[in-house]
Chains A and B, each alone.
Chain A
Amino acid sequence: MTVTLTVNGEPRTLDLPPQTTLLELLRERLGLTGAKEGCDDGECGACTVLLDGAPVNACILLAAQAGGRAVTTVEGVHGDGGPGDPHPLQRALVEHGAIQCGFCTPGIVMAALAAEPAADESAIRRALAGNLCRCTGYQKVVQAVLAWADDHHERERRGPSA
């Protein structure tokens, strides 16, 4: 099975066994290990990536289903300074103490980026409900996402010149 897709902006064409999942494609074929395998069952969210901007569990999506689509992984998330410069959401997670073991963090980053732009706390909690975290109790995660969202909207409201 030949699959052509875009990963973090780069076009890729791969020849894969048909049962290959998107997560296997990313981790084993492209060496993008940011998305984690926590359950291989679509139940923990550690492998969350964006497919045309919408969150998916890469562990239960066939790689073939991503054919022709744009996939964004945590490796494709960064600040205005380019790769290596943390995205403001990533910065907020670090600064709020929202990261402990960090295994669920890449999935949380992707799920939060896909959340409704004007989300309030309750909406953020629902947006992250598929991303299990055993370490943090979610509180500092939610605080970080809220702080980032507030900041983000404040900047949007003031426009690009601000």
Chain B
Amino acid sequence: MSAMAVPRTLAEALAVLAARPEALVVAGGSDVVPALRAGRREQPAAWLLLHELGSLAGIAPQPGGGLRIGAATTVAALERDPRVRPGATALADAAALIGAPATRTVATVGGNLVNGSPAMDLGAPLLALGATVELAAAGGTRRLPLEQFLLGPGRVDLRAGELLVAIELPPAAAPGDAAPRAGSAYVRIGGRAAMEVALAGAAAEVVLAPGGATIAAARVALCAVASTCLRAPAAEALLIGAAPEPAVLDAAARAAVGHTAAIDDHRAPAAYREAVVEVALRRALDTAVERAR
């Protein structure tokens, strides 16, 4: 009989993980349970279920701006929470696109990240929003930028005994700007209106300088075109300091493609992914700029 722990406190959860680092962590289970059912993942000897761990779910504004999102926060909460839509619009865009309502009831932001799929919908928006992940273990806590956490398909930088507890989003701001005009967006390319796995996706956050004539800060991230969701610094470099004009946005979207390493698979050929990720990013930039104005 395998052990199943349903902790109510983080300390309890970390103690379980310290004792049984091989335990299978189940947040919503919408990725991991189907994998178990289909035999893509072995039945675990120990389980750690997070659904009673109230402190791990929830969205809280940060002192000084930004949001702290508990790792067990559901996608439905991201979709609906009134603080996500204005402050982290790209994330709300992505949340509304994931699966169907029944998926979003249980799927969590932490589960989406830890699953490590290159096509995860929340990865690119969180990268574009500058997310940091908080990883706790019985021995202590560490933080790292999301781009360092995502290592490859199905691989994340989660050490034995560690639990992803929260994702922190910094306030969208340009240095020294007290009232930044920021906007973000996520655009996914797929063949159906719902229940779709991204063929490619792109997210952008844009902060306009006072007056709106130039882009003061920008982050750009891509989905389903490389072994992980990833930032596109070449695109960001073209945007920062430039005017939010079509030619600039075109050039940035084109430059982003230089960061891709798409593969052919049963969903789409690499050439298609690389072509449409540019389109997705171009559209995300347009919407982000529009939202920033």
Contacts and interface: CB of A to CB of B under 8 A. Distances in A.
Contacts of B38: 40-41
A36 B105 CA distance: 19
B30 A42 contact: yes
Nearest to A65: B51
Interface in B64-112: 76, 99-103, 105-106
Contact of B29 (A1, A65, A129): A65
Nearest 6 pairs of A and B residues by beta carbon: A130-B100, A129-B194, A55-B102, A18-B4, A60-B33, A54-B105
Nearest to B26: A62
A108 to B, nearest CB: 12
19 contacts: A1-B4, A18-B4, A19-B43, A41-B34, A43-B195, A54-B101, A55-B102, A55-B105, A59-B37, A60-B106, A61-B106, A64-B4, A65-B49, A65-B51, A67-B51, A126-B194, A127-B101, A130-B99, A130-B102
B52 interface: yes
A68 B49 CA distance: 13
B156 interface: no
Contacts of B34: 40-42, 60
Give chain A's interface residue range (CB within 8 Å of chain B): 20 to 34
Interface in A51-97: 51, 54-57, 59-62, 64-65, 67-68
A114 interface: yes
A88 to B, nearest CB: 21
A55 B29 contact: no
Contact of A64 (B49, B101, B194): B49
A129 B105 CA distance: 14
Contacts of B36: 19
Contact of B52 (A48, A61, A68, A130): A68
Contacts of B29: 60-62, 65
B193 interface: yes
A39 to B, nearest CB: 9
Contact of A42 (B2, B6, B103): B103
